[in-house]
Amino acid sequence: MSGPPPGALILAVTGVQGPADGAAVETALRRRDPTIRMWTDWPRGRVAIQSAASVKTLCAAVQGAGYGVLVQRADGRPAARGSVGGIFGRILLYAVLGAVLGVALGVGVGLANSLLNPDCTRPGSSGNCAIGVGVFGFLFGAGGLPLGALAGLVHGLIRRHG
């Protein structure tokens, strides 16, 4: 049989010692999808698959048979679940969200200060309190920007590395 097609899912299976182990993995996969097409390279611990079943389902089948499994790319390297571009995009998105939420929270704090602070309710003192609304908004927004970026970085790294 020829090699797997370019779009095949490649699984690196650990713990396969001989033909019986290979057969056990193949049986476990066929139980999940009877129409599965497989190309095996057991000396290297690889099986390439074309299946309608999800990657999670197929990995769970191999793990349920008692073997370790790792999804690989065609060049043999492990397939990352998130890209560097995805991490960068998350950093930018979370930074913008952090800044927007920070400004909104800061304006809310500034307005609450203007309404609830007894020094702001006296005649003639409203100018300083009104300026405080913008100052609080700016400060909270400036704090929300790096906090959001940090949250995006952490989320992106967790998504990529599990």
First to last CA, the chain: 36
Give pLDDT, residue 26. Answer: 93
Per-residue pLDDT tens digits for 112-149 = 988 888 888 777 776 778 888 899 999 999 999 999 99
Per-residue pLDDT tens digits for 25-72 = 999 999 998 999 999 888 888 899 988 888 889 999 999 999 999 888
The residues that bridge with 46 in the sheet, in sequence order, are 12, 41
Query: How far is residue 139's CA from residue 25's CA, in Å, rounded to a whole number?
Result: 58
Give the distance from CA 114 to its chain's centroid.
41
Query: How far is residue 140's CA from residue 130's CA, in Å, rounded to a whole number?
Result: 16
Contact (Cβ atoms closer than 8 angstroms) between residue 152 and residue 159:
no
Q: Where are the beta strands (DSSP E) in the chain?
A: 9-14, 37-41, 46-50, 68-72
Give pLDDT, residue 94. Answer: 95
Residue 161 is which amino acid?
H
Per-residue pLDDT tens digits for 63-104 = 999 999 988 865 555 555 667 788 888 899 999 999 999 999
Contact (Cβ atoms closer than 8 angstroms) between residue 47 and residue 101:
no
Q: Where are the domains of the chain?
A: 9-72, 84-161
Architecture of domain 9-72: 2-Layer Sandwich (3.30)
Question: How much is the pTM?
Answer: 0.51
The residues that bridge with 14 in the sheet, in sequence order, are 68
